[in-house]
Amino acid sequence: MAKSFDVRRQPGFTAIAMLCFVLLYLPILLLVAYSFNAGQSISQWEGLSLRWYASAWQNDQIQSATILSVTIAVTAAFLATSVAVLAALATTRVKPWRGQTVAFAMINQPLMVPEIVTAVSLLIFFAMIKVATGYTGLWYLIIAHTAFCIPFAYMPIRARLQGMNLSLEQAGADLYGTPVKVFRYITLPQLWPGILAGGMLSFVISLDDVVITEFVKSAGQDTLPTYMLGQLRRNITPEINAISTALLAISILMVTAMFFFSRTRK
Amino acid sequence: MSPSRTRFALLAPAMVILFFAAAGPLVIVLVYSFLIPGDYGGVVWDFSTDAWFGVVAERDFFTDQLSWADAHLSVFWRSIKLSLMTSVLSLVIGFPTAYFIATRPKGSRDVWMLLIMIPFWTNLLIRTFAIMELIRNEGTINTVLIAMGLVTQPIQMLYTEFSMLVGMTYVYLPLMILPIYASMERLDFSLVEAGYDLYATRWQVLRRVIFPLVKPGVVAGSILVFVPCLGAYVTPRVLGGGKQLMLGNLIELQFGQLRNWPLGAALSLTLLVIVMIALIFYVRAAGNEGNAHG
Amino acid sequence: MIEIDTVSKLFGAGDSAFRALDRVSVTIKENEFFTLLGPSGCGKTTLLRLIAGFEGPTSGKILLDGQDLADKPPYRRPVNTVFQSYALFPHMTVAENVGFGLTMLGKPKSEVAATVSEMLALVRMTNLADRKTSQISGGQQQRVALARALAPRPKVLLLDEPLSALDFKLRKEMQLELKRLQSETGITFVFVTHDQEEALTMSDRIAVMSGGTIRQIGGPREIYDQPSERFVADFIGDTNFLSAEMIARTGDSAQLRLGQGAEVTARAGQVDKTSGAVTLAIRPEHARLVALDAGQLTGTLDDIVYFGTDTHYHITLDGIGTRFVLRRQNSPDEMRPVQQGERVGIALASSAGQVLKD
């Protein structure tokens, strides 16, 4: 019997889609595979080994870069999520107000301006402050990361808030809940998945940043990505692959968790 | 507290951080673009429009004659050319992929999209590294080709415009798929059936029915890929190896080796203006989409 | 002429497969207004989609003028569809929509333009030719969808519940319009609906479907007056079902004894029994309210429901307890007024009943 006509099929599209998925994952999978290589090479397989993980673990530079990356990411994610919750409460489920457009533009600005431009502007601005105050600590990086994490934290929180029923809070207020108590016992528990998603997203974004960190960091303030970028000029060993694999694992874990989280809570 | 005061208090922390670490410094960049470079980086506080001239022109050191800054213009041209090529290549791969996902059963579409999103949310530097390791002279592709006896010498792919095109397509492809998929998912398939019913072949249905209906998504995707390509820094640095500069690398050079901060500032703002123009197109396209479906 | 030859269609596979069509055979004649009538999920739309070519049959054949359609994609079938949702292309004007089929067939521009204006005139939409389809009303969209499907002069026009989205008045108007278009164009119409009244008023023949099979095929009068089985009698119009005993049969005529003892004659229809228990179907308007001892049945009047043009009388039959509904046209010369709770007699019109298949 002849194969019946399928209105959804387009010739070659499935093949291209499959190729697309292969192309998306093949380079990453190879990178991961060679992190377990016993030899020095990142393209010739010489047997399974964890030696590069061990060597990365013992590398002082990588250790300090890891500590710095995590410190910045945790702090920036916490700050960005906190201010994003407040901003989302002020801009969601309210009547349109004057200045709303400006507020949205400000929040989304890090998404619209090319990273290199932001990086350059922060380099200039922080250089001025460094000269004026003499402070060369970590807070430049933390504030810079917080700023570009804000839109990523804001989006899921705002989305969650928009989906929430205003009448619940009205019921809370009707039952003698003060605004603070209503927020604490009614709004916040419902908002929690959004906050968690925003926080995780910010953490991943901060952990992955290269460009802004590269321009803003003072001497000796290498994060994992800038350390890896610095290694480019040297001979690359699977040690880089080992760090990459660890970072990949964190990102994939968080994105997948967020996916299932948002799916079950809907 | 009045509602507007509450709102002000809630917004203030985010606005202060964004003002000092995102929007505000852009004003300083504008100021710097009208100053004179200091000898060891930084600036001398004297008004000058030299930096802006320097974006497109250069003055001969000895004869004082003005001529086009070919070095800069070629970087501009390469940036725009590679960004356009990346958009087109992403479209060629992304459109069929988005179509494929949109025609899966409802339950499994999310999972396919997750497969697109996972690489997108993983570190851009790592993905660029993955491409680099693949196409280096000692990389997997060349090793395999030599082992199969197809070539005797490794093919030089790294540090060429080709490698930058491949790399940028690889890292920005999800940005193309996302908006096209969003349009495609809303596509009413009875329109496709109507097309077939009225004697349109598969190709005609694609061109005359499906494509016009998801065009807003295609426009959005193209701009979402084009814009970050234009300002790309990491991918051209790793895959272009400092030989094939794009705008981002040219800007960095002014703040690093060349120590011409005002020129770097002027170049940054030029990039910003181009991106803003592209974004205005994007907003228009998104607006039209809203109208078409509202 | 469309021949549908033992066509089955399964969705899904294995034990969970859903049998949307089960060995359906029917022949639709040239220039016929043929209606597929049935409740939702009966398979009528699936059958239409098989003819259009959007789905392929799991088994069986569909022939158009003797030619097997199996290998033909929808764009090679001289068959056009009016979709339930109209499926007008939102990115084209009314005229571009109507001309789409002809353009795809590669007709010259002048011919396309001429046919488009002819078609728009046919559905009285000439003045809106340059509008976008989102700028016209539902009834106008309906006309455009019709014109678009008729423009390529198909051999068969398939209509998938095209009137269901319209309000009552517009629907009545379009019913007449469709009938007019069918006779003017001479194209075979295959019309899918769940609305029995629509089917009765418009069709040359009706196929009543249920559970993936065709239960009865016939003209509107035949389907209404001589339903073959309980499902058809029940789905189309209101019917009273009475248990009876067949005591004699000569050809189409059967002698029955009702539960209360009275004997009546009825049409035997497709029932092959000559004796034993049967079910008798009687339309509410085929019985009259009479004095207690003047009819074949007696009962107590429970409810009188006024409907404007007619009145319904709900009667519980003595001894059996079955509810019998009787309908009477209202007229100025009112008959003797009856009271709720009164005991009444029911006279059945001679040979009005139909014996049903089990």
pLDDT in tens, C261-319: 888 888 887 788 888 889 999 999 899 888 888 888 999 999 999 888 889 999 999 88
> What's the pLDDT at A1?
41
| Dist. CA C85–CA C45, nearest whole Å | 13
- Statement: residue C93 has pLDDT above 90: yes
CA distance C97 to chain B (A): 10
Q: Which residues pair with C255 in a beta bridge?
A: C248, C265
Nearest CA in chain C to A7: C54
**Which structural domain, as residue segments, surrounds residue C314?**
238-356
Total number of domains constituting chain C: 2
- Contact residues on chain A for C59, CB-CB shorter than 8 A: 1
Nearest to B196 among C75, C148, C152 (CB): C75
- Statement: residue B291 has pLDDT above 70: no
| Dist. CA A167–CA C31, nearest whole Å | 60
Pair (C221, C242) in one structural domain = no
Cβ-contact B221, B176 below 8 angstroms: yes
Please state, for a pLDDT cut of 70, what percent of chain C lies above it. Answer: 99
The 10 Å CB-count burial string (b at 16+, else e) for C314-339 is: bbebeeeebebbbbeeeeeeeeeeee
CATH number at residue C123: 3.40.50.300
> What's the pLDDT at C166?
84
What is this model's ipTM? 0.89
Pair (C136, C283) in one structural domain = no
> What's the pLDDT at B293?
43
**A 68-127 near B (Cβ less than 8 A):** 79, 82-84, 86-87, 89-91, 94, 97, 103, 106-107, 109-110, 112-125, 127
- Contact residues on chain A for C73, CB-CB shorter than 8 A: 5
> What's the pLDDT at B294?
33
Query: Would residue C233 count as lying in a domain?
Result: no
- Contact residues on chain B for A109, CB-CB shorter than 8 A: 18, 22-23
User: Which single residue is written with the structure tokens 């019917």?
Assistant: C239
Calculate Rg over the CA atoms of chain B.
24
- Statement: residue B107 has pLDDT above 90: no
CA distance B211 to chain C (A): 10
> What's the pLDDT at A263?
66
Pair (C215, C333) in one structural domain = no
- Contact residues on chain B for C76, CB-CB shorter than 8 A: 199
Largest CA distance in chain A: 83
Pair (C201, C107) in one structural domain = yes
Nearest CA in chain A to B101: A17
Q: Under an 8 Å CB criterion, which residues of A touch C?
A: 1-5, 7
Cβ distance of C87 and B204 shorter than 8 Å: no
Cβ distance of C80 and B198 shorter than 8 Å: yes
Listed range (A7-21, B73-87, C3-17, C326-340) with the worst mean pLDDT: C326-340
Cβ distance of A2 and C55 shorter than 8 Å: no
User: Which structure tokens are listed for C145?
Assistant: 């969808």
Does residue A178 sit at the B interface (CB-CB below 8 Å)? no
User: Which structure tokens are listed for B70?
Assistant: 């070919």
Query: Would residue C108 count as lying in a domain?
Result: yes
Q: Which chains touch C (3 or more CB pairs under 8 A)?
A: A, B
Pair (C76, C143) in one structural domain = yes
Calculate Rg over the CA atoms of chain C.
25
- Statement: residue B290 has pLDDT above 60: no
pLDDT per position in chain A (266 positions), as tens? Answer: 446 788 888 999 999 999 999 999 999 999 999 999 998 888 778 889 999 999 999 999 999 999 999 999 999 999 999 999 999 988 887 778 888 888 888 998 888 899 999 999 999 999 999 999 989 889 999 999 999 999 999 998 998 888 887 788 888 888 888 888 888 888 888 888 889 989 998 999 999 999 999 999 988 899 999 999 988 877 788 999 999 999 999 888 888 888 777 665 54
Does residue B186 sit at the C interface (CB-CB below 8 Å)? no
Per residue in C196-240, pLDDT (tens digit) is 999 999 999 999 999 999 999 999 999 998 998 999 999 998 899
| Dist. CA B152–CA A218, nearest whole Å | 46
Does residue A148 sit at the B interface (CB-CB below 8 Å)? yes
- Contact residues on chain B for C54, CB-CB shorter than 8 A: 193, 196-197
Q: Which chains touch B (3 or more CB pairs under 8 A)?
A: A, C
Cβ distance of B18 and A106 shorter than 8 Å: yes
Listed by start position, the domains of chain B span 78-293
Its sign, for the CA torsion B77, B80, B82, B85, is negative
Pair (C196, C113) in one structural domain = yes
Calculate Rg over the CA atoms of chain A.
23
Q: Write the CATH number of the domain with boundaries B78-293.
A: 1.10.3720.10
Does residue C104 sit at the A interface (CB-CB below 8 Å)? no
Pair (C210, C350) in one structural domain = no
Per residue in B243-268, pLDDT (tens digit) is 889 999 999 999 988 889 999 999 99
Cβ distance of B198 and C152 shorter than 8 Å: yes
- Contact residues on chain A for B14, CB-CB shorter than 8 A: 83-84, 86-87, 106-107, 150, 154
User: Which single residue is written with the structure tokens 């800038």?
Assistant: A226
Pair (C193, C287) in one structural domain = no
User: Which structure tokens are listed for C147?
Assistant: 């014109």
Cβ distance of B193 and C148 shorter than 8 Å: no
Does residue B56 sit at the C interface (CB-CB below 8 Å)? no
Pair (C36, C177) in one structural domain = yes
| Dist. CA C312–CA C285, nearest whole Å | 9
Does residue C11 sit at the A interface (CB-CB below 8 Å)? no
Interface test with C, best of B190, B197, B214 (most C CBs within 10 A): B197
Pair (C49, C186) in one structural domain = yes
Per residue in A176-201, pLDDT (tens digit) is 888 888 888 888 888 888 899 899 98
Stretch (H or E) spanning A63: helix A60-91
- Contact residues on chain C for B190, CB-CB shorter than 8 A: 83, 85, 87
Q: Give, as one character, the DSSP assignment of residue B201.
A: -
Q: Tell me the DSSP string of C120-155.
A: HHHTT-GGGTTSBGGGS-HHHHHHHHHHHHHTT--S
CATH number at residue C307: 2.40.50
- Statement: residue C351 has pLDDT above 80: no
CA distances from C184 to A125, C150, C181, C188 (A): 80, 12, 5, 11
Report residue B56's pLDDT band, with 50, 70 and 90 as the boundaries: confident
> What's the pLDDT at B292?
46
> What's the pLDDT at B222?
92
Q: Which residues pair with A11 in a beta bridge?
A: none
Nearest to B199 among C54, C85, C105 (CB): C105
| Dist. CA C89–CA C91, nearest whole Å | 6
Cβ-contact C227, C270 below 8 angstroms: no
Pair (C302, C165) in one structural domain = no
Cβ-contact C202, C191 below 8 angstroms: yes
Sorted by sequence, the CB contacts under 8 Å of residue A77 that are 6+ apart come out as A149, A153, A199, A200, A202, A203, A206
- Contact residues on chain C for A10, CB-CB shorter than 8 A: none
Interface test with A, best of C5, C54, C62 (most A CBs within 10 A): C54
Query: Would residue C279 count as lying in a domain?
Result: yes
- Statement: residue B101 has pLDDT above 60: yes
Of C196, C225, C254, the position where a domain reaches its end is C225
Interface test with A, best of C21, C71, C75, C81 (most A CBs within 10 A): C71
| Dist. CA B181–CA B99, nearest whole Å | 7
Q: Which domains does chain A have, with CATH numbers?
A: 50-265 (1.10.3720.10)
Q: At what angle do helices A238-265 and B124-135 cross, to 10 degrees?
A: 130
Q: Residue C36, exposed/middle/buried by CB under 10 A (0-12, 13-18, 19+)?
A: buried
| Dist. CA C300–CA C292, nearest whole Å | 10
Question: If you average pLDDT over every residue of chain B, what do you get?
Answer: 89
Helix (H, G, I), strand (E, B) or coil at C296: coil
| Dist. CA A232–CA A34, nearest whole Å | 17
CB pairs under 8 A between B and C: 63
| Dist. CA C287–CA C310, nearest whole Å | 14
Of C201, C225, C249, the position where a domain reaches its end is C225
Sorted by sequence, the CB contacts under 8 Å of residue B48 that are 6+ apart come out as B34, B35, B36, B262
- Contact residues on chain C for A7, CB-CB shorter than 8 A: 54, 74
User: Which structure tokens are listed for A67?
Assistant: 């500590």
Q: Give, as one character, the DSSP assignment of residue C286.
A: G
Cβ distance of A2 and C56 shorter than 8 Å: yes
User: Which structure tokens are listed for C35?
Assistant: 């209606």
User: Which structure tokens are listed for A26?
Assistant: 């093949």
CA distance C318 to chain B (A): 55
Q: Which chains touch A (3 or more CB pairs under 8 A)?
A: B, C
Cβ distance of C56 and A4 shorter than 8 Å: yes
Pair (C219, C243) in one structural domain = no
CB pairs under 8 A between A and B: 254
Sheet holding C188-193, edge to edge: C79-82, C156-160, C188-193, C33-37, C205-210, C213-218
User: Which single residue is written with the structure tokens 């899904």?
Assistant: C12
- Strands C310-317 and C323-329, how do they pair? antiparallel
- Statement: residue B22 has pLDDT above 50: yes
Query: Would residue C232 count as lying in a domain?
Result: no
CA distance C72 to chain B (A): 11
Q: Give, as one character, the DSSP assignment of residue A202.
A: H
Of C225, C249, C282, the position where a domain reaches its end is C225
HEC secondary structure over C32-82: CEEEEECCCCCCHHHHHHHHHCCCCCCEEEEEECCEECCCCCHHHCCEEEE
Query: Would residue C264 count as lying in a domain?
Result: yes
Closest to C354 in 3D by CA, of C222, C250, C247: C222
Cβ-contact C195, C203 below 8 angstroms: no
Cβ-contact B265, B251 below 8 angstroms: no
Q: What are the start-end ranges of the H helices in chain B?
A: 3-18, 24-32, 50-56, 70-102, 106-121, 124-135, 140-147, 161-185, 189-197, 202-205, 211-230, 234-240, 247-255, 261-293
| Dist. CA C229–CA C86, nearest whole Å | 34
| Dist. CA B71–CA B73, nearest whole Å | 6
| Dist. CA A138–CA A151, nearest whole Å | 22
| Dist. CA B211–CA C60, nearest whole Å | 36
- Strands C310-317 and B43-44, how do they pair? unpaired
| Dist. CA A44–CA A32, nearest whole Å | 13
Its sign, for the CA torsion A216, A217, A222, A227, is positive
Residue range C176-203: mean pLDDT, rounded: 92
Nearest CA in chain A to C60: A1
Nearest CA in chain B to C55: B193
